[in-house]
A and B are shown apart, each in its own frame.
Chain A
Amino acid sequence: MNTNLKISNVTKIYPGCVANDNVSLEFNSGKIYALLGENGAGKSTLVKILSGVIIPDEGKIYLNENNLKLNSPLDAKKNDIGMVFQHFNLFETLSVFENLIIDSDEQREVLREKIDSIMRKYNFSIDLDIPVLNLSAGQKQKVEIIRCLIRSPKVLIMDEPTSVLTEQETSELFLSLKKFSEEGILIIYITHKLKEVIELCDEVAVMRRGKLVSVSEIKNENIESLANKMVGQNLKTIKKKKEKNSSDKLINITNLNFISEDPFETNLSDINFSVNRGECLGIAGISGNGQSELFQVLSGEIISDKNSIEFNKNYIGDLNPQERREYLMAFSPEDRLEQAAIPQMAIFENVALNNYKSSNFFNNGLINENKIKEHSKKIISDFNVNTDNIELKSQFLSGGNLQKLIIGRELITSPDLLICFNPTWGLDVGAINYIHETLIKINEQNKSIILISTDTDELLKLSDKISVIHKGKLSKIMDADEVTSEKLGILMGGGN
């Protein structure tokens, strides 16, 4: 049976921002639709409206001509709309089976049968009786998908599903989605990754600043045309000039180990690598394989053996981040709002978090506010942070502007080495471009970068050498020119 989903004149206004501005769209089963847009374009709001999480201010939703009243996620489920969120909603300590039946009141045996048949049909192989915490991200996602399929949905919405998947898992997912589509499930795929849209979808709707800007068939589009629609301007493509690098070793890590007391952290075992001046070492991996621990060990948030880290001919393994900054290291953590910056504090106060001695932010234990403010103004203009008010609380900066501020702050000291962890995570294309350009510039000034990232494209674009982290172990270090994303994908999944 054909499914027709219609969104008619939907508007949702938040204080200070129109998240959805009179959006109308129509979907028909048998096709896979992409909903494309930068962060903040309004696509998440739209799918949250479809899944009953948010109630629109105006507008209606029709499924097969029936006007739906979606006041809660339960209403969406009842109306056969299934949704897989970007962040998994699973109970880690419960078994897969328990997670699957938790919101259903059918009999266990019946459900077991139903789940088995779904798994057979789509070739999923997951042990139903082990706790969810033992599953990989790809498997967890399959659990979420099965949870939707149990209710035989007419519509399946996937919100940025590939952000935690390896290349291989992504292609498996795409196969499944195509199969669902052939069976008549209407699929709406939300993403900001252009390549995936081209690879998977039949039609694409592009949103920008809450407005629907275009609906078109994929065969009439290519990556550049979609990117320009998404950003609303022509983007220049960045390319790093690959030069012959120096062989002057800047940092050398030998036999670095970290054993965590926290069962939810990953142990690091026998990490060895070195980075030369002017070089960017990329460290790829699926999130949760020890990246966060590696970053903390490198930044000094976790202290390690003194001799395990040699930087500029000094052994610094036992120094804390502030002391390492004095040796000209700088750090940009993954979590912008909970670690790299404090949203409730003003921009200039956030700048003062980098207390490099010769910046004189603090003299004899006293705050030197003038100096901090002067420097903050310089960062704002040098790094294109879109505000002129350094007293503004940093929570009012967009992700991109906040990241620029953080990178700018870290570069105050003109460090020899910048260590970044997912520096463009969740940013829009414009901001990503800016950050990438900045990182390339750092390398051009013969300074080095360690780039820990889950974004393979970013790594291939910026790195001179690449290694992959898997379960706390680093693979051998490869020249970026010899690496393909397929090869990285295999290593990220633990293969050889």
Chain B
Amino acid sequence: MIKIVKRDEPSRAIFFLTPILAIFLTLVAGGLIFYILGFKPFEALKFFFIVPIADKYGFSELLLKATPLCLIAIGLSFCFKSNNWNIGAEGQLTFGAIVSGGVALLFYEQEGFYILPIVILAGAIGGMLYASIPAILKTYFNTNEILVSLMLVYVSKLILDYLVVGPWSNPEGFNFPETRQFSDSARLPLLFEGLRIHAGIFLALAAVVISWFIFYKTYLGFQMKVSGFSLKTAKYAGYKGKKMIILVFLISGACAGLAGVGEITGPIGQLHREVSPDYGFTAIIVAFLGRLHPVGIIFASLVVAITYLGAETAQIFMQIPKYTGQVFQGMILFFLLASDYLLFFKFKFKGSKK
């Protein structure tokens, strides 16, 4: 007989193993789903996870998708580590894109090295402004940040919609819902000829390094850790709770805003209706799959980025809708949460030593 026993202490090894277990279970379940749909499971999984990144172009696409996921997830980990539930990164990304896009349009057909930094900065500030709304409402009016940040996502998308259809739409654009092309000086440079991967990846890598430093070496990181475990203790230690809540939201918003900048000033070079295929939501999965650890988040963003690519390949070669990608993302989160059970409990087989 198998008995389930509570662990004395959450296992450190299991803490880092469960994400891998979750990915494995997702593959098994995914294979099963493909089988039920009438595909050969292994072949389908190959189309989904291996074919898309088998060549140089595919690998560049992988990094392209992983960049915003990583950047946003790093920002979110500041919030999640300190017990603040910012669910609206998608909105902060969108608003960051709007602000930086607006600035880029101001410099329409102008050249200058100073333009790109201003555009990037504008995106970060846009994200911060948008994230400050749930933060301020939470600290001063006791609202629930989950609801506020989530609802603001839809507000930002509608603002974007209005702008690209209305005042900012391209005068020569035959009424397509998009703006003019930004000038080259307002665009993140591409890294390789013929590939779409752009300099935004350096922003993501910088965020990884800086966040690692803040988490583990600074007083702010320590305060975040304490607040994450117990808000009562944080209060007793005398940490300025409100200040910290606003700060982590701003950091998180800045990262999402930067991801928005990368989306519009990279390969596309204009504002259009769909700046992000829900990167802001998917990054929540990335943050948890990466265990809120900067290095973990790098790996997690790569894994989750594959599901975006795989969905596209599957659509082309297997004629199944690209929303399969979301099914996989959902399964990863589901299995991760389920295998977290193993953190606190273990199986004991009757007859084995205590």
The answer to whether B218 touches A335 (Cβ under 8 A) is: no
Q: Which residues of B contact A367 (CB under 8 A)?
A: 217-219, 221-222
Question: Which among B8, B9, B230, B238 is the interface contact of A322 at CB below 8 angstroms?
Answer: B238
Assess whether A15 is interfacial by the CB under 8 Å rule. yes
- 0/1 interface trace, chain A 386-428, chain B, CB 8 Å (1 if under): 0000000101000000000000000000000000000000000
The answer to whether A339 touches B232 (Cβ under 8 A) is: yes
Q: How far is the CB of B49 from chain A (nearest CB, A)?
A: 36
Assess whether B106 is interfacial by the CB under 8 Å rule. no
- 0/1 interface trace, chain A 341-368, chain B, CB 8 Å (1 if under): 1101100010011110000001001110
Query: Which residues of B from 232 to 249 have beta carbons under 8 Å from A?
Result: 232-233, 235-240
If A321-B237, A322-B239, A355-B237 touch, whether A342 touches B230 (CB-CB below 8 Å) is: yes
The answer to whether A338 touches B354 (Cβ under 8 A) is: no
The answer to whether B229 touches A344 (Cβ under 8 A) is: yes
Q: Which residues of B contact A63 (CB under 8 A)?
A: none
Q: Which residues of A contact B196 (CB under 8 A)?
A: none
Closest to A363 in B: B219
Q: How far is the CB of B167 from chain A (nearest CB, A)?
A: 43
Q: Which residues of A contact B226 (CB under 8 A)?
A: 342, 345, 353
The answer to whether A320 touches B240 (Cβ under 8 A) is: yes
Q: Which residues of A contact B9 (CB under 8 A)?
A: 393, 395
The answer to whether B217 touches A341 (Cβ under 8 A) is: no
Q: Which residues of A contact B221 (CB under 8 A)?
A: 367
Question: Which among B217, B219, B220, B232 is the interface contact of A338 at CB below 8 angstroms?
Answer: B232
How many cross-chain pairs have Cβ atoms below 8 Å apart between A and B? 67
Closest to B142 in A: A261
The answer to whether B220 touches A365 (Cβ under 8 A) is: yes
Q: Which residues of A contact B230 (CB under 8 A)?
A: 338-339, 342
- 0/1 interface trace, chain A 1-41, chain B, CB 8 Å (1 if under): 00000000000010110000000000000000000000000
Assess whether A299 is interfacial by the CB under 8 Å rule. yes
Assess whether B225 is interfacial by the CB under 8 Å rule. yes
A324 vs B235: C-alpha distance when bound (angstroms): 13
Assess whether A189 is interfacial by the CB under 8 Å rule. no
Closest to B7 in A: A15
**What is the size category of the interface that chain B forms with chain A?**
20 to 34
The answer to whether B354 touches A13 (Cβ under 8 A) is: yes
A136 vs B217: C-alpha distance when bound (angstroms): 49
A321 vs B9: C-alpha distance when bound (angstroms): 31
The answer to whether B237 touches A365 (Cβ under 8 A) is: no
A345 vs B226: C-alpha distance when bound (angstroms): 9
Q: How far is the CB of B80 from chain A (nearest CB, A)?
A: 16
Question: Which among B222, B229, B232, B354 is the interface contact of A352 at CB below 8 angstroms?
Answer: B222
The answer to whether B236 touches A333 (Cβ under 8 A) is: yes
The answer to whether B8 touches A366 (Cβ under 8 A) is: no
Q: Which residues of B contact A305 (CB under 8 A)?
A: none
Assess whether A331 is interfacial by the CB under 8 Å rule. yes
Closest to A355 in B: B237
Question: Which among B233, B238, B240 is the interface contact of A342 at CB below 8 angstroms?
Answer: B233
Q: Which residues of B contact A340 (CB under 8 A)?
A: 233, 236
If A13-B354, A341-B233, A345-B229 touch, whether A300 touches B238 (CB-CB below 8 Å) is: yes
The answer to whether B219 touches A301 (Cβ under 8 A) is: no
Q: Which residues of A contact B217 (CB under 8 A)?
A: 366-367
Query: Which residues of B from 11 to 45 have beta carbons under 8 Å from A?
Result: none
A300 vs B236: C-alpha distance when bound (angstroms): 8
The answer to whether B237 touches A354 (Cβ under 8 A) is: yes
Q: Which residues of A contact B240 (CB under 8 A)?
A: 320
Question: Which among A16, A321, A345 is the interface contact of B236 at CB below 8 angstroms?
Answer: A321
A338 vs B235: C-alpha distance when bound (angstroms): 12
A210 vs B7: C-alpha distance when bound (angstroms): 21
The answer to whether A339 touches B236 (Cβ under 8 A) is: yes
Question: Which among B233, B238, B354 is the interface contact of A339 at CB below 8 angstroms?
Answer: B233
- 0/1 interface trace, chain A 322-341, chain B, CB 8 Å (1 if under): 11110000010101001111
Q: How far is the CB of B217 from chain A (nearest CB, A)?
A: 6
A300 vs B232: C-alpha distance when bound (angstroms): 12
Query: Which residues of A from 280 to 303 have beta carbons under 8 Å from B?
Result: 299-301
Q: Which residues of A contact B237 (CB under 8 A)?
A: 321-322, 353-355
A9 vs B268: C-alpha distance when bound (angstroms): 77
Q: Which residues of B contact A335 (CB under 8 A)?
A: 232
Q: How far is the CB of A295 from chain B (nearest CB, A)?
A: 10
Q: How far is the CB of A220 from chain B (nearest CB, A)?
A: 39
Q: Which residues of A contact B225 (CB under 8 A)?
A: 345, 349
A78 vs B240: C-alpha distance when bound (angstroms): 54
The answer to whether A338 touches B233 (Cβ under 8 A) is: yes
The answer to whether A321 touches B238 (Cβ under 8 A) is: yes
Q: Which residues of A contact B239 (CB under 8 A)?
A: 322
Most chain A beta-carbon contacts within 10 A, residue among B8, B230, B240? B230
Q: Which residues of A contact B354 (CB under 8 A)?
A: 13, 15
Query: Which residues of B from 166 to 185 have beta carbons under 8 Å from A?
Result: none
Query: Which residues of B from 255 to 293 have beta carbons under 8 Å from A?
Result: none
A317 vs B232: C-alpha distance when bound (angstroms): 20
A321 vs B240: C-alpha distance when bound (angstroms): 10
Closest to B236 in A: A339
The answer to whether A325 touches B238 (Cβ under 8 A) is: yes
Q: Which residues of B contact A320 (CB under 8 A)?
A: 238, 240
- 0/1 interface trace, chain A 255-290, chain B, CB 8 Å (1 if under): 000000000000000000000000000000000000
Q: Which residues of A contact B8 (CB under 8 A)?
A: 15-16
Closest to A343 in B: B229
Q: How far is the CB of B7 from chain A (nearest CB, A)?
A: 9
- Some 20 contacts from A to B, beta carbons below 8 A apart, are A301-B235, A301-B236, A321-B237, A321-B238, A322-B237, A322-B238, A323-B238, A338-B233, A339-B233, A342-B226, A342-B230, A342-B233, A349-B222, A352-B222, A353-B233, A355-B237, A362-B219, A365-B218, A367-B222, A393-B9
Given contacts A355-B219, A362-B222, 5 further A-B contacts (CB under 8 A): A301-B235, A320-B240, A333-B236, A345-B225, A355-B238
Residues of A within 8 A of B (CB): 13, 15-16, 299-301, 320-325, 331, 333, 335, 338-342, 344-345, 349, 352-355, 362, 365-367, 393, 395
